[in-house]
Amino acid sequence: MINVKFGGTLYQDLKAAGKQEHKQDEPRPDATHTITVTDPDSELARVVEGSCRVNSMHHQAIKVLGRGLKRTAYSEDGLVEAVESADDYPFLMAVQWHPEEMVGQPVQRKIFEEFVTKCREAATKRS
């Protein structure tokens, strides 16, 4: 949804597009594939060093990246797995997996904690 808001497009259905499906049969907290961070200066790179294992439950993916976004991670099959704002924006990190369901893993917990921290900072600024 974020990519579309920024003018990008999606593979509406990965299977129909001839892409590898990203739906796992394993329990939601289990990792099923690897993502690789592509931008060492990204918010994601501050918590993920190089790569990590993630869960996968999506049937859509970014096809053409929206204006003002930058790819910060991709999957083993080349799909965009994370984006951030390329412009001056308070905080925008979007991932295709569910770190909130994997908080038992330190890297995933850090991603979720970073999101909560940024939300609290934004709430404090509005008060």
Tokens of 10: 């999606």
Q: What is the pLDDT of residues 55-68, one digit of tens each?
A: 999 999 999 999 99
Q: Is 24 exposed, middle or buried (0-12, 13-18, 19+ CB in 10 A)?
A: middle
For residue 127, pLDDT over 80 is answered with: no
Q: What is the reported pTM?
A: 0.90
Q: What does the pLDDT read at residue 79?
A: 95
- CATH class for the region spanning 2-126: alpha beta
Q: What does the pLDDT read at residue 34?
A: 96
3-class secondary-structure state, position 51? strand
| Radius of gyration over every alpha carbon of the chain, rounded to an integer in angstroms | 15
β-partners of residue 85 are 69
Q: What does the pLDDT read at residue 7?
A: 97
Domains in the chain: boundaries: 2-126
Q: What is the pLDDT of residues 85-124, one digit of tens each?
A: 998 888 899 999 999 999 999 999 999 899 899 999 988 8
